[in-house]
Amino acid sequence: MGPVVLAVLAALAVPGAAGGPGLLSLRGSWRLHSGNGSVSLRAPVPGCVHTALLRRGLIQDPYYRFNDVMYRWISLDNWTYSRTFQTPFDVRKWQKVNLVFEGVDTVAQILLNNVTVGRTDNMFNRYSFDITSVIKEVNFVEVRFLSAISYAAEQSRCHKAYSIPPACPPPGQKGECHVNFIRKEQCSFSWDWGPSFPTQGIWKDVRIEAYNHYHLIYFSVTPCFVKSAQQWCLEVESIFDVVSSKPIAGRVTVSIPKLQTQQTFSVKLQPGEGSIVLLVNINKTAAVEAWWPNGHGKQTGYDMKTTFIMEAGYKVEKFSKVYFRTVELVQEPIPGSPGLSFYFRINGRPIFLKGSNWIPADSFQDRVTYDTLRLLLKSAADANMNALRVWGGGVYEQDEFYDICDEIGIMIWQDFMFACALYPADQNYLASVRAEVLHQVRRLKSHPSIILWSGNNENEAAISSNWFSIPSSKREVYIRDYLMLYVKNIREIVLSEDRSRPFIASSPTNGLESVKEGWISRDPYDTHYGDTHFYDYNSDCWNWTVYPKTRFASEYGFQSWPSFSTIEKVSSAEDWSYISNFSLHRQHHDSGNVQMLQEVGYHFKLPQSTDPVKKFKDTIYLTQVMQAQCTKTETEFYRVSQSEIVKGEGRTMGALYWQLNDIWQAPSWASLDQRLPYSLLFQIIHPQSKPLKFNGPEKKEVLRRVQRSPVELGKGLEHKSDGEQLRELGMFSLGKRKLGGDLMAFYYLKGGCSQVEFRLFLEVTSDRTRGNGLKLCQGRFKLDLGKNFFTERVAKAAQGSGEITVPGEYGGKWKLLHYFAQNFFAPLLPVAYEDQGVLYIYGVSDLHVDQKLTLRASVSQQDDIYVFALQTTAIAPYVSLDVGSIKGRFSDNGFLMTEKKKVVVFYPWESTSVEELEKSLTLTSLLDVV
């Protein structure tokens, strides 16, 4: 496909001349009561039933302990919102008066003055009900909700021709059934990382709109770029409701002062709902600065004013911020490889998408504030991410979410809200979906951050891989429904409404190859096409050879528990065990707790403390270390794979791990806890998103990974061995040890995954040599570092004398203290020193510790930040700083501390003090656990 060009307009309505629309907000306090009237209270709108009950103290925190099950009665009841309001204008003077809901969750009957004016059945749609003949000076409005659980079950029962799987979630999710029969946030019925809270409420704005002649409903901008003329142009679309019985003529002026551009158009509005499209040519002498993703340039925008002056009616003015950028999804043959590429070209430049997947930030959307969104998104940008995938089982995010992404350069892969299920394709359902898609595309298409529309999450794979055990004789029915929903409806609407960005039908998908195969490919996970989702909880996740050399990794990840300070807020002391009822209840992923321990056990000793609470804390910490190291390994693998083809696979151009944020306090794949502190995953994955420079796709890459600057210590070191490229893995300064000096170790690696060749240099500077370097040993060793090495040889060393036999010129029996994998290229990367003929190997699995670790910190304040001065008496791997419920971020966390002193800066997100931080601080390293 050719370049897709986008300029964005975020519109802000400004009151026009006399005769403008009459507006009355109905936000604020409403009356809320249960189905039988036994519960009645005042409730805020926007809002939902659960948060209203919580604010009035009628329920506990829904996230506390087992309340997701205990409060199931709330979602099973039918609740009603109501209020009276006085119309501040003479309703007889208006041709049309509408009651407008920007979002109703979900199934409701709308009454005004005891007259039914409309019904809702789609959380993602905008509803406008004509109340011209019903509204009075004083009015009574009711929104009578029907339980989403009951509605979904009834819709399923009514679909008698054939079943639509899955009927219910796995039992371990403690969720509700038939979520695919209701157009509602799919994960609100539960997911493998989230609770079941099928909410009811008016979750977005509600208001009265009164107008004469015409009213502007939608306003958007998508630009075009004429290559032959090298000129930008803007396509400005305005959708009106014209209540006049005759056409209305007028003029529209579009002005962008900074680009020396102004054009005026004559227009004519026809009766009814319709659109006018204006083509605005940008002044060719103006230098247009493009919008770039984070890390690739600025996010330049331009102020634009659009003025509508009609013969009849009022003047409408729109003040907007417009951005310019092009986006292409490139799928083309690759020399030396079967299949097609799959990458994004922004403003003509190939961009590696690095980031994560986004889920709803809370089970209760009215609690997701602008500040919450900004903290989460800014955290992603600060971590060098440039992309997020808004996952299809949640919600289309609020306008502020996309505004922030526009501002900070986060590209958005936007799913439509369908996930991990098959869906109905009857006419009523399709009509609701069409209205939803039309509304969301018109609402969102002006944002430069959105670079892709994707029809669903994993539903192509569900059919292709037969997740739901559908007999082959019935498969065609479900394929027909799939094509009807995603291709003949959603895709056609998207292509009609927005040609400024690409569309794919599903994720994962083979892209154009899936289209060629009838939109459902034989293997949507084929690494030679499209994008892939990859999860493996049984293999050793430090072994990078298990990962697919895919074109684009749009989902991958590993679970961990959130920090103890997060869990503590929603649990009691009896819950603080890895095998407690609470821990089992909170884990929604089948065998998840066991899988985490299995991954931990590949490389670490499991906690053995006799104190059950410490053992729980240590286990939580190890799951976070494991998750961080595993995700880091896989991310590095994808980033290195972007410039190489190996056995026909490679050219990976995206790595979006699962998942950025959490919805509640529970084990999950998230890198940011539900209460916003960074997990070890987020801190350790942070450096992995920094820019990498490559020699070019035709050359074998050399990845350089250095713990500290090699400028002084790296002189004269070899970079080739036997004619092969070597990868520099790292450098560590151990600080003063038994020999009384500084030791530095350099490690080099070549070859494959099991046979690792490295050269070890140890230099000691001590008073005995007056500062001169004393070379203790230099040798080359070949070690078999496969799985058996860890499970057998290390285990034997741990159980016996602590010695391990190593072959080679300097081989023999070495005393193994513990080992440490710092990079995915080597399963074993020791930190070592020699003392009295014994080579001590240091790392993360502590078998014998010869020196006691003492780790402490002092806190001081400098202006608006806080400085943590850390000191250690020994090498401290994976140092974790946790300040409990105090929100903010550390400049570094989860690090290997090889110096005696280190300074870490804390950036608070709320008011705090030195005393509060010192009181809340928990310092942990791997040696505290093992």
Of 600-609, 766-775, 900-909, the range with the lowest mean pLDDT is 766-775
In tens, the pLDDT along 147-205 reads 999 999 999 999 999 999 999 999 999 999 999 999 999 999 999 999 999 999 999 99
Quick one: CA torsion of 874, 879, 882, 883, rounded to 10 degrees? 50
Model confidence at 782: pLDDT above 50: no
For 594, residues 6+ apart whose C-beta sits below 8 A from its C-beta are none
Q: Superfamily assignment of 4-17+212-326 in CATH? A: Immunoglobulins (2.60.40.10)
Of 160, 154, 145, 200, the C-alpha closest to 181 is 154
Of 124-128, 138-142, 605-609, 656-660, the range with the lowest mean pLDDT is 605-609
Model confidence at 629: pLDDT above 70: yes
Tell me the C-alpha to C-alpha distance, in Å, between residue 279 and each of 223, 227, 262, 300, 502.
9, 16, 12, 21, 21
The CATH code for residues 855-929 is 2.60.40.10
Q: How confident is the model at residue 675 (pLDDT cuts 50, 70, 90)?
A: low
The pLDDT score that the predictor gives to residue 394 is 98
* Average pLDDT across the chain, whole number: 82
Q: Is 209 a catalytic residue?
A: no
Percent pLDDT > 90 in the chain is 69
Confirm if 214 and 267 have CB atoms less than 8 A apart: no
In tens, the pLDDT along 324-354 reads 999 999 999 999 899 999 999 999 999 999 9
Quote the CA–CA distance of 538 and 156 in Å, as a whole number: 36
Pick the catalytic residue from 555, 634, 701, 728: 555
The pLDDT score that the predictor gives to residue 928 is 86
Of 827, 849, 866, the C-alpha closest to 930 is 849
In tens, the pLDDT along 521-579 reads 999 999 999 999 999 999 988 888 899 999 999 999 999 999 999 999 999 999 999 99
The pLDDT score that the predictor gives to residue 747 is 28
- Tell me which of 708 and 589 has the higher pLDDT: 589
Read off the pLDDT of each residue in 239-265 and give the average, rounded to a whole number. 96
The pLDDT score that the predictor gives to residue 761 is 29
In tens, the pLDDT along 262-312 reads 999 999 999 999 999 999 999 999 999 999 999 999 999 999 999 999 987
Confirm if 422 and 482 have CB atoms less than 8 A apart: yes
- Scanning 564-604, the segments in alpha helix (DSSP H) are 564-568, 581-586, 592-601
The pLDDT score that the predictor gives to residue 724 is 25
Q: How confident is the model at residue 228 (pLDDT cuts 50, 70, 90)?
A: confident
Q: How confident is the model at residue 689 (pLDDT cuts 50, 70, 90)?
A: low
Buried b (16+ CB within 10 A) or exposed e, 666-702: bbbbbbbbbbbbbbbbbbbbbebbeebeeeeeeeebe
Of 30, 49, 150, the C-alpha closest to 105 is 49
In tens, the pLDDT along 814-841 reads 443 333 333 222 233 333 333 343 333 3
The pLDDT score that the predictor gives to residue 676 is 57
Quote the CA–CA distance of 286 and 258 in Å, as a whole number: 8
Count of alpha carbons within 13 angstroms of residue 927, beta-carbon side:
24
**Neighbour-count burial of 57, counting CB atoms closer than 10 A to its CB (0-12 exposed, 13-18 middle, 19+ buried):** exposed
Q: Where are the domains of the chain?
A: 4-17+212-326, 22-208, 391-530, 720-842, 855-929
Kindly report the backbone phi and psi dihedral angles of residue 52, in degrees, each rounded to the nearest multiple of 5, phi listed first. Answer: -65, -45
Q: Is 400 a catalytic residue?
A: no
Q: How confident is the model at residue 737 (pLDDT cuts 50, 70, 90)?
A: very low
Quote the CA–CA distance of 672 and 888 in Å, as a whole number: 11
Multiple choice CATH, 391-530, 3.20.20.80, 3.40.50.300, 1.20.1250.20, 3.40.50.800: 3.20.20.80
Q: Do domains 4-17+212-326 and 855-929 have the same CATH topology?
A: yes
The pLDDT score that the predictor gives to residue 677 is 58
In tens, the pLDDT along 403-425 reads 999 999 999 999 999 999 999 99
DSSP for 438-492? HHHHHHHTT-TTEEEEE--BSHHHHHHTTTT---GGGHHHHHHHHIIIIIIIIIH
For 699, residues 6+ apart whose C-beta sits below 8 A from its C-beta are none
The pLDDT score that the predictor gives to residue 895 is 84
The pLDDT score that the predictor gives to residue 854 is 85
In tens, the pLDDT along 490-521 reads 999 999 999 999 999 999 999 999 999 999 99
The SS3 assignment for 256 reads: strand
Quote the CA–CA distance of 463 and 454 in Å, as a whole number: 17
Domain spanning 22-208, CATH architecture: Sandwich (2.60)
Task: State the sign of the Cα–Cα–Cα–Cα dihedral 486, 487, 488, 490.
Answer: positive
Pick the catalytic residue from 458, 513, 636, 649: 458
Cβ-defined contacts of 474-479 (< 8 Å, 24+): 474/162, 477/162, 478/422, 479/518, 479/520
Of 565, 400, 648, 445, the C-alpha closest to 921 is 565
Model confidence at 666: pLDDT above 80: yes
- Tell me which of 795 and 43 has the higher pLDDT: 43
How far from chain centre, in Å, is Cα 55? Answer: 29
The pLDDT score that the predictor gives to residue 582 is 98
The pLDDT score that the predictor gives to residue 225 is 86
DSSP for 383-442? TT--EEEE-TTS-PPPHHHHHHHHHHT-EEEEE-S-BSS-----HHHHHHHHHHHHHHHH
The pLDDT score that the predictor gives to residue 421 is 98
- Tell me which of 900 and 740 has the higher pLDDT: 900
Kindly report the backbone phi and psi dihedral angles of residue 893, in degrees, each rounded to the nearest multiple of 5, phi listed first. Answer: -165, 155
